[in-house]
Structures are given as C-alpha cells and as structure tokens.
Amino acid sequence: MADQRTTIQVQDHVLIITMTRHNKRNAIDSEMTQALDVALNRLEDEPDLWVAIITGGPDMFCAGTDMAATSGTPTERGGIYGVVGRTRTKPLIAAVEGVAFGGGFEVVMACDMVVAATNARFGLPEVKRGLVATSGAMFRASRVLPLNVAKQVMLTGAELSPADGYRLGLVNELCEPGRALAAALKLAALMTDNAPIAVQQSLQAIDGLASASDAQGWELTAKARKVNMASDDSKEGVAAFFEKRPPTWTGR
C-alpha cells in the first residue's frame, strides 16, 4: 500500500514504514503527518502486527518539519507528526541513514530502539534558527542521552555523531551505510520470536515509568515555545533561514 508520502510493507509480523518525500529530505508536512498517523494506527489496531520499523530509505531519515508548509495539525492518536505524542503498546524501531535533524531526531527519540548507519547525522538545530524544539526533545533528550550531553546538543545545535550516539546509549546498533533497515529487521525478528503479549506488556510497563512526567514535559515545551515565538529573534531566525543568510540576533 502506498500514498504520496510513505510506503508500507508487512514482513513476518513487522510493519515497515518508509518516508518517501526524498526531494524534501523527508521533511514532514501535513500529508506526511497524516500518512504516518494512519500507518501507526494500523500497527496498534491489527493483532498480527507486532513490531514496526520507521525509516527514510537508504539516503536519509528526516529533516524535521517542513518550515514552509508546516507539519499540519497534530493527530488525535499520534500528536505531532502522528508519532511523537502517541501512546504505543507495540515496539517501534528507527532505522536511520543520513540526516535526522530537528523533528526528525525527535521522531527517533520517540521510538523504542534505534539502528543507525555510520553515515547518520543527528541534530537539533532549532536554536540556530531562533526556535526551540517542540516535538518532545525538551524532555526526551535527557532520557536517551546523559543530561549534560542533551544540553550540549540542544543549546549549541551541534550534531551528535552516530558513533557517539552508540557509545552514549542512544543507538542500539551501528551498521554500515545502506544496512540500517536490514539491521532493524534482524532486531525486530528477535522480538517477533517472543510472545507478543509478553513483549507488549513489558514495553508498556517500562514506558509507563519513563513517561510519568510527559504531561509536565509538554507543558514546559508549550511555555518555551510561547515565550520564544513572541521574540524578535524567532522571526529573524526564520527569515534568515528562508533568505539563506546568517541571522543577526538581538536577544529580544
């Protein structure tokens, strides 16, 4: 089954979701949000689907929100992008090749496990554009990375290498370029060999503890976004991005 933004495959109880907006580096617009939401609703609703993998193909993962088109309205079941606000009962693996920037990195953080090729590029460049991360990184970055590293990534906008991501525990498995999906399928097979209800209950128990403070995290994210969007710098950062020039910050 295919639509304009994703392709969907099923292989041995595994749902493979591939973002296909490659001419925009898989930047998420409203159609992509809806496509991802439909795919992940299917994961939850079909008993024979036990694990899912989300990937962007062999060249890229996702460059985050389409800043020109926006990512559209958050979905009822999945929230932003149809992904990052979702409560799932089944494991989701990110298979990452190339860029996973901004919201793309936040999609990775919303997954349960991460397989990354050595050419993967992780980053939260929002502060370089006068913006703040609004899709879960405010509270998830410090769960998947040590606190000081999470602060460094978010406050400098600098990239995190896949090797460092593996060393620090963000990445479960590191592989050669072009092999992320294959490696993710092997990881998925280790789970589909197990009893699905046991896997799902284990995941829900772990997530229940880890996500106990999510409501506060979203509240603090909304506050940061509101204050930041009222600033002159946020307007300057976006304008500079579209005009392809260095921004001039004023601190106001």
Give the pLDDT score at 100: 98
Q: State the average pLDDT over residues 47-73.
A: 96
Give the pLDDT score at 87: 94
DSSP string, 153-171: HHHH---B-HHHHHHHTS-
Q: Could you tell me the pLDDT band of residue 84, with boundaries at 50, 70 and 90?
A: very high
Give the pLDDT score at 163: 98
On the question of pLDDT at 2 being above 70, the answer is no
Q: What is the pLDDT of residues 209-238, one digit of tens each?
A: 999 899 999 999 999 999 999 999 999 999
Q: What pairing do the DSSP bridges indicate for beta strands 99-101 and 92-96?
A: unpaired
Give the pLDDT score at 48: 98
Q: Kind and range of the H or E element at 3?
A: none
Q: Which residue has the tokens 């092999």?
A: 179
What letter would DSSP give residue 126?
G
Give the pLDDT score at 4: 77
In the chain, the percentage of residues whose pLDDT exceeds 70 is 99
On the question of pLDDT at 3 being above 60, the answer is no
Residue 119 CB-density burial (10 A; 0-12 exposed, 13-18 middle, 19+ buried)? middle
CB atoms within 10 A of CB 48: 8
Give the pLDDT score at 18: 98
Closest listed residue to residue 3, CA positions, set 20, 15, 22, 16: 20
**Residues in a beta bridge with 28:** 65
Q: What is the pLDDT of residues 22-42, one digit of tens each?
A: 999 999 999 999 999 999 999
What sign has the CA pseudo-torsion 114, 15, 38, 4?
Answer: positive
For the domain 6-175, what is the CATH code?
3.90.226.10
Give the pLDDT score at 22: 94
Rounded to whole angstroms, the Cα distance separating 143 from 149 reads 11
Q: CA-based Rg of the chain, rounded to a whole angstrom?
A: 17
Q: Could you tell me the pLDDT band of residue 8, with boundaries at 50, 70 and 90?
A: very high
Q: State the average pLDDT over residues 164-174.
A: 98
Higher pLDDT, 1 or 108: 108
Q: What is the pLDDT of residues 192-207, one digit of tens each?
A: 999 999 999 999 999 9
Taking all residues of the chain, what is their mean pLDDT, rounded to a whole number?
96
- Per DSSP, which regions of 105-236 are E strands? 113-117, 121-123, 173-175
Q: Residue 149, SS3?
A: helix
Domains of the chain, by residue range, sit at 6-175, 212-243
Give the pLDDT score at 1: 40
Q: Which residues are catalytic?
A: 106, 126
